[in-house]
Amino acid sequence: MKWQVDKANVQFRMYRLHVAATQVKKVKILPQNCMDVVKSDPSLITVKPEPLVYRCRKCRRIVASASNLLPHIPKERPSWTDKKWSTEDREAMMLCSETYFVEPLAWMSSVTQSLQGKIHCPKCKSKLGSFSWIMGCQCPCGSKISPAFYLVPSKVEWSNMVQNVQVTV
């Protein structure tokens, strides 16, 4: 990160999730000092919305943006200590897209209160995926992700249409 804390850096985000999961294992709830791992709702109206988003396939509500994705390589367990995540050449990596692992998001109400559970769309209540702070999840590609917050690809769709733009006059 070139001697500065870059909160958008994948390696830093993975580290913060690791720290939060360690705390959740101890106290069985997400402590206040780890609330920064829960990112804001990507469907909120913003001045600079992200152009690449994931929507609920049933009701089309935005549930995640491309910046919320946590990448992994098939058959490898991602670790924040691995130097490959610090390189800027992630496009050359063969990343898995069989399951979408994301950061915990503000609309996922139960992730701060429970150790594991289901992720439901906040608008239509259809099941989009699951989460686990402790056990993690095995991706179909063979990677073990922990902690895991994942969206099932058949339940969400990728979209590059920006609709949540705030206009200022």
Higher-confidence position of 3 and 155: 155
Higher-confidence position of 48 and 145: 145
State residue 166's pLDDT score.
Answer: 47
Is residue 39 classed as helix, strand or coil in its secondary structure?
strand
- Give the percent of the chain with pLDDT over 70: 82
- Residue 151, in any domain of the structure: yes
- Residue 167, in any domain of the structure: no
Q: Is the pLDDT of residue 169 over 50?
A: no
Q: Is the pLDDT of residue 94 over 60?
A: yes
Distances (CA, A) of 123 to 40, 109, 110, 126, 149: 16, 12, 15, 8, 19
State residue 148's pLDDT score.
Answer: 93
| Residue 119, domain extent | 10-159
- Residue 164, in any domain of the structure: no
State residue 93's pLDDT score.
Answer: 64
State residue 5's pLDDT score.
Answer: 75
pLDDT tens for each residue of 106-159: 999 888 889 999 999 999 999 999 999 989 899 999 989 889 999 999 999 988
pTM for the structure as a whole = 0.80
Residue 49 · residue 165 · CB < 8 Å: yes
- Residue 46, in any domain of the structure: yes
- Residue 90, in any domain of the structure: yes
CA 14 to CA 149: how far, in whole Å? 12
- Residue 165, in any domain of the structure: no
Reply yes or no: is the peptide bond before residue 74 cis, omega within 30 of 0: no
State residue 132's pLDDT score.
Answer: 94
pLDDT tens for each residue of 57-90: 999 999 999 889 888 888 887 766 666 655 555 5
State residue 34's pLDDT score.
Answer: 87
Residue 103 tokens read as 């950061």
- Residue 94, in any domain of the structure: yes
At position 34, the amino acid (one-letter code) is C
How many domains is the chain built from? 1
Is residue 79 classed as helix, strand or coil in its secondary structure?
coil
Mean pLDDT of 1-19: 80
Q: Is the pLDDT of residue 164 over 70?
A: no
CA 123 to CA 120: how far, in whole Å? 9
- Residue 5, in any domain of the structure: no
